[in-house]
Each structure stands twice: as structure tokens, then as C-alpha cells.
């Protein structure tokens, strides 16, 4: 049986790929949203009596897991929704006659997919068999043959049992609550309902003579659904669902409505039994570890004393010992990094390779379709394409494809740089290049991050800048890293970021300033140390500036950080100007 604790995680994993495909660039999504025309309120249909998924509360308002999830999706997508609740049969009919735009909770089946379009599932609904206490227990749907089984009309269990040939033995009701009341009154044999609504209603209606006799006899994917052909609306809800999954709102909604109703995985006695089986050996191992650790400590102390006695100057001996310890720690870090790099390279390069492989195909597809689109544009005038006018998309799509290609290439380069950090003996090819062009390319790469972080970005480029010799791609990586760090340092968008290039005393200089919170004086000497970071809680690894410093050192340059007392940070990058050899 599928562990219901894993359901949110599995659903989230299934939707991460969709989010990646939908959001190739957040700026494009913002632009598309800004150009959408005002939309009418969407009518969302729901079952009035299907708790805790969806129901009418005691104040007469829509409530439940589905309602909160729909509101979260509508909020992130900028949609207006209005809920219309009734019996499940009325809601199904409302979708068919277009009085309802979308159903927010419906189980997927192949038969239903002939008339409906479904979103990716947002949870899994497990169905169970209920009976009166003392009734002969069953463990599967097949054991219900020849029995009178209560189901609510047009539900997934109704469809499934009919397909299995149970039609003549089915007793239909309007709601799950009606089905359980009828069973509790002494009529018929069993009821087949979703497990959570069944247990919820038994508790709320005080139907104390009913019990669940078989759990998870059928597990169904629970989705949004629209009438067949309404692909645009389904795409927007699927996109919103993916965003809600990523932002953590989904988990909070799931825990609020569904997580609290899940049964404990272990009983108290079983938990104590297994706890004892684990804890006793663990205590023994822990005790042995403490004894062994103490023994090692004594041996280390003894050996340290012997070394101190052998060395004439105790101070120099202790300093040498510290130096060796630092080297061992650094060697261990680099060994760990080598293992990490191999995993990162494999996990990132594979999907990134697919992107690099597919982008030229997408570019060719667009070129082939452009002639047809242009003919339609000339014949009919402007029209909407993906929610944006074609007049704009004909200019934006090539630019978007170029940005995606450039971004994927950059991912590939970053992975290669991680490998080179772990293997510093490899040196990239060097050639003369213009630093202004490299900086401008880096600015374009982080344009969306800059626009989110500040409304006051400025750049000044020295027109008389001499060329420098090195690897342009690696210097571009350093500039991107410095700009991203500047963006992350700003507390609000009204703070400024600026950069400038200049030439002085035979050195080409790049200066990056930000009006952020600044850097503590005690941290300044350690900024380029491997694994040193002040952003560990937000996912920082401490490799960015360390890699950048290594790149600049390979190019014969320097990287200097300044943070005045008033706040803000200034980074000064210097590289030697290229001296062209005289030709005879």
C-alpha cells in the first residue's frame, strides 16, 4: 500500500519538471502576465458534502483542501474564481453544459478522459469499504460480489464497480453522508467510499456502529478537470499548481486538511517494541564509541606530548602541528568536493544535455512555422499566441531561444569549473579579449536578477580599454558571481548597484559597488576561503568567491573587497593589460 506520507513529495517531484518547462525565464512570465487582457470570473465547481476535500461549512461558505488549493492557485496566477457547490451529479452536469468552467477535485479514469482534460494529480485518494460492526470483513472489491453495496452517484467507485459488473447490486445515494447514514440504519451490506471522507463523516455524524473493514481497495489520482478541448484554462491551472507546489503553500494546505486525518503508522506497543530493538543496540554502539573515542584522545594526547618533548622550541612545534591539521582538513574538504563534483556533473549535465540537444530542434520548428504564422498575420492581422500578441512574440521568441541556449551553455561551463576547482592542474586556453564585451555579456545573463534586486543599476564602460589575455568565459563567470552577490546583498530594490571599467598603471580594472548591508570586518579576510559562507542557511556553499579568486589568480590579477563602516561593498578586480608582441 502506498504510504500516504510520501504523496505530497511524489506529487511535488512529478510537477518540478513541468515547472522547469513552463518557467524558462521569470521575466518572460511577468511580461506575458502583464499583456493578458482582463479576465472574467471563473466558476469552480465542487461537491457540497465531500469533507475534508470540499464541503459547505457551518457558516454556509465553501471550505476544505480543494478550496484552499484553488484559492492559492488563483492568487499566484492572478485569476478571479467563484465557487459553486452542489451535489456531485449536478457539478458533473454543470461542466458538461458550460455553467461551470472547472472541477477542482475529480478522480482520473481513462473513460472520463474521453470527455474531460485533466491536470497533473495534486494528491491520491484512497478508497475503502465500510460496514456495520460485526459484519463479515472483506479485503477487496471482488469479495463484494453478490452483496448490496452503497455508493454515491457518479463517483469514481460508482464508475469502477459498474465497469466490474456490479450494476445490479449497487445502491446509489446523492452524497457520501447519505450512503453512510443508510448503512448505519441497518440497510444493505457494505458501502464503498473514499477513506478520508468516510472516516471524517463517521466521526462528525456520530455513526458509532460503522467501521472501515478494508482500506485502500482502490487508489485514484485526484486532479482538476475541464471540458475536453479547454486546453488553455487547464494549462493555467496546471502552471499555478506547479508554482504552489514549489513555494511550499501546497504542503501547508495538505497538512492542514489531509495530514491531520491520516492514521498513525505504528501503534504504541509496536512503536515501543521497535524502539527497544533499535535503541538497545544503538546504546551499546554509542557506549563503545565513547570508550574508543576516549582511548583515541588519550593516545593523541600522549603522542602530542612526545612530539613536544622532541622539538626544542615548543611554540614552533605547536604551530607546525596546527599547520598539518589545517592541511588535513583542507585535503578532506577537497576529497569531499571531488565526490560532490562527480555527482553534480552527472545529475546536471544529463538534463542540461537534453536542453542543449532540443533547443536547435525547437529553433528549427519555429523557423518552419514562422512562414505560416506570417501569412496568417498578413491575412488576419495580429492574433494571440500563448497568451501574448503575435506581433510581440515574433520578436521575442528568437531572443528567448538565444537566452535559453546561452543559459544552458553557462550551466555546462559552471559544472566544468567545479571540476577544474577540484583538479587545479588543468589550465584553460587563453587568448586576447575585450573586458567590456565580457562584462556586458555577464550583465545580460543576470538581467532578470538585477531587475528583481534593484531599480537603480548603472554601468560605465571605458571606451579606451586595452585588451587582456585569458579565458573570456571564465572571467565572465567571475563577473556574474560578483553581480549575483551584489543582488543578494541588497535589502530593498531602492538600493543601487553600479559597475565601471577603467585602465590605470598597466592594469585593466573592474569595480562593482552595491548599497547593501556590507560585510563584517572579521569576515573580509576569509571571503575567498573555500567553503566559507555567511549564507549557509539559504543554501550557500562558500565556493563562488573561492572559484572566482582562483580564476583571477590564474590570470595574474587581484580581487579586493572593501566594506566601509556606513554599509555597502566595493569589489575591485584588476587584470594585467595584454602586451602585443612586435611583428617584424
Q: What is the CATH number of the domain that holds 98?
A: 3.40.190.10
Are 443 and 350 within one domain?
A: no
Are 202 and 246 within one domain?
A: yes
Q: How far is CA 480 from CA 18, 175, 304, 414, 567, in A?
A: 27, 59, 47, 11, 22
Are 286 and 205 within one domain?
A: no
Distance CA 27, CA 122 (A): 27
- 276 inside domain: yes
* Residue found by looking up cell 608582441 in the block: 581
Nearest residue to 263 via CA among 329, 176, 200:
200
- 584 inside domain: no
The answer for residues whose C-beta is within 8 angstroms of residue 418's C-beta and 6 or more apart is: 341, 344, 345, 543, 547
Q: Judge if pTM exceeds 0.85.
A: no
Are 450 and 387 within one domain?
A: no
Output the nine-digit C-alpha cell for 109: 479514469
Domain total of the chain: 4
| The residue count for the chain | 584
Q: In sequence order, what are the beta bridge partners of 573?
A: 510, 559
500 Ramachandran zone, left/alpha/beta (phi>0; psi -120 to 50): beta
Beta-strand ranges (E) seen in 369-454 are 384-385, 388-389, 431-433
* DSSP three-state, residue 330: helix
Q: Which contacts (CB < 8 Å, 24+ apart) does range 145-148 have?
A: 145/169, 147/189, 147/190, 148/188, 148/189, 148/190
- 496 inside domain: yes
Are 412 and 555 within one domain?
A: no
Domain with 472, as residue range(s), is 431-576
- 229 inside domain: yes
Are 253 and 283 within one domain?
A: no
- 316 inside domain: no
- 317 inside domain: no
Question: H helices of 35-64, where?
Answer: none
* DSSP three-state, residue 170: strand
Distance CA 196, CA 580 (A): 77
**How confident is the model at residue 416, as a pLDDT?**
67
- DSSP type of residue 263: P
Q: Give the pLDDT means over successive 10-residue stretches in the chain (584 positions).
A: 51 50 46 53 95 94 96 95 94 94 95 94 95 93 94 94 93 95 95 95 94 92 95 94 94 89 54 73 86 88 82 73 65 59 71 84 86 88 85 86 84 66 55 93 87 92 92 89 89 93 93 88 75 56 72 89 84 89 39
Contact 46, 9 (CB under 8 A): no
Are 142 and 81 within one domain?
A: yes
Are 9 and 156 within one domain?
A: yes
Amino acid at each position: 500500500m502506498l504510504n500516504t506520507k510520501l504523496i505530497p513529495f511524489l506529487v511535488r517531484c512529478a510537477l518540478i519538471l513541468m515547472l522547469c518547462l513552463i518557467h524558462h525565464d521569470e521575466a518572460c512570465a511577468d511580461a506575458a502576465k502583464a499583456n493578458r487582457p482582463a479576465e472574467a470570473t471563473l466558476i469552480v465547481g465542487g461537491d457540497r458534502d465531500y469533507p475534508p476535500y470540499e464541503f459547505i461549512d457551518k457558516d454556509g461558505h465553501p471550505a476544505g483542501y480543494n478550496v484552499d488549493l484553488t484559492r492559492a492557485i488563483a492568487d499566484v496566477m492572478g485569476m478571479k474564481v467563484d465557487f459553486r457547490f452542489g451535489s456531485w451529479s449536478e457539478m458533473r452536469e454543470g461542466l458538461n453544459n458550460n455553467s461551470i468552467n472547472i472541477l477542482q477535485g475529480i478522480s482520473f479514469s481513462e473513460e472520463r478522459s474521453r470527455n474531460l482534460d485533466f491536470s497533473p494529480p495534486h494528491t491520491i485518494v484512497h478508497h475503502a469499504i465500510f460496514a456495520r460492526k460485526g459484519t463479515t470483513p472483506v479485503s477487496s472489491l471482488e469479495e463484494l460480489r453478490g452483496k448490496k453495496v452503497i455508493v454515491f452517484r457518479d463517483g469514481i467507485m460508482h464508475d469502477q464497480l459498474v465497469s466490474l459488473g456490479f450494476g445490479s447490486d449497487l445502491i446509489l445515494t446523492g452524497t457520501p453522508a447519505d450512503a453512510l447514514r443508510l448503512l448505519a440504519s441497518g440497510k444493505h451490506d457494505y458501502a464503498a467510499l473514499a477513506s478520508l471522507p468516510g472516516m471524517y463523516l463517521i466521526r462528525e455524524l456520530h455513526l458509532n456502529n460503522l467501521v472501515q473493514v478494508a482500506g485502500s481497495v482502490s487508489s485514484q489520482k485526484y486532479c482538476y478537470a475541464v471540458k475536453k478541448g479547454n486546453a488553455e484554462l487547464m494549462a493555467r491551472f496546471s502552471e499555478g499548481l506547479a508554482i504552489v507546489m514549489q513555494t511550499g503553500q501546497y504542503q501547508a494546505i495538505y497538512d492542514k486538511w489531509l495530514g491531520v486525518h491520516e492514521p498513525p503508522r505504528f501503534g504504541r506497543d509496536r512503536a515501543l517494541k521497535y524502539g527497544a530493538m533499535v535503541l538497545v543496540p544503538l546504546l551499546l554502539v554509542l557506549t563503545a564509541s565513547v570508550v574508543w573515542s576516549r582511548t583515541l584522545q588519550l593516545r593523541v594526547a600522549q603522542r602530542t606530548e612526545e612530539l613536544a618533548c622532541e622539538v626544542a622550541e615548543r611554540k614552533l612545534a605547536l604551530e607546525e602541528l596546527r599547520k598539518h591539521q589545517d592541511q588535513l582538513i583542507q585535503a578532506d574538504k577537497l576529497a569531499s568536493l571531488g565526490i560532490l563534483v562527480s555527482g553534480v556533473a552527472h545529475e546536471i549535465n544529463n538534463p542540461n544535455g537534453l536542453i542543449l540537444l532540443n533547443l536547435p530542434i525547437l529553433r528549427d520548428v519555429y523557423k518552419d512555422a514562422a512562414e505560416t504564422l506570417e501569412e496568417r498575420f498578413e491575412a488576419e492581422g495580429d492574433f494571440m499566441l500563448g497568451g501574448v500578441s503575435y506581433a510581440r512574440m515574433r520578436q521575442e521568441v528568437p531572443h528567448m531561444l538565444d537566452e535559453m541556449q546561452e543559459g544552458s551553455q553557462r550551466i555546462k561551463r559552471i559544472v566544468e569549473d567545479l571540476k577544474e576547482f577540484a583538479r587545479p592542474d588543468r589550465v584553460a586556453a587563453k587568448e586576447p579579449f575585450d573586458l567590456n564585451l565580457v562584462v556586458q555579456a555577464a550583465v545580460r545573463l543576470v538581467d532578470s536578477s538585477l531587475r528583481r534586486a534593484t531599480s537603480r543599476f548603472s554601468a560605465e564602460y571605458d571606451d579606451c580599454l586595452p585588451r587582456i589575455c585569458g579565458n573570456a568565459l571564465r572571467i565572465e563567470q567571475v563577473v556574474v558571481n560578483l553581480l549575483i552577490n551584489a543582488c543578494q546583498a541588497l535589502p530593498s530594490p531602492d538600493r543601487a548597484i553600479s559597475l565601471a571599467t577603467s585602465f590605470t598603471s598597466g592594469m585593466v580594472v573592474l569595480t562593482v559597488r552595491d548599497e547593501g548591508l556590507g560585510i563584517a570586518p572579521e569576515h573580509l579576510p576569509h571571503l575567498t576561503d573555500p567553503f566559507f559562507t555567511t549564507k549557509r542557511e539559504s543554501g550557500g556553499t562558500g565556493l563562488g568567491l573561492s572559484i572566482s579568486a582562483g580564476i583571477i589568480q590564474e590570470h595574474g590579477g587581484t580581487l579586493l573587497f572593501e566594506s566601509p563602516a556606513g554599509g555597502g561593498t566595493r569589489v575591485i578586480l584588476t587584470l594585467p593589460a595584454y602586451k602585443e608582441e612586435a611583428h617584424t
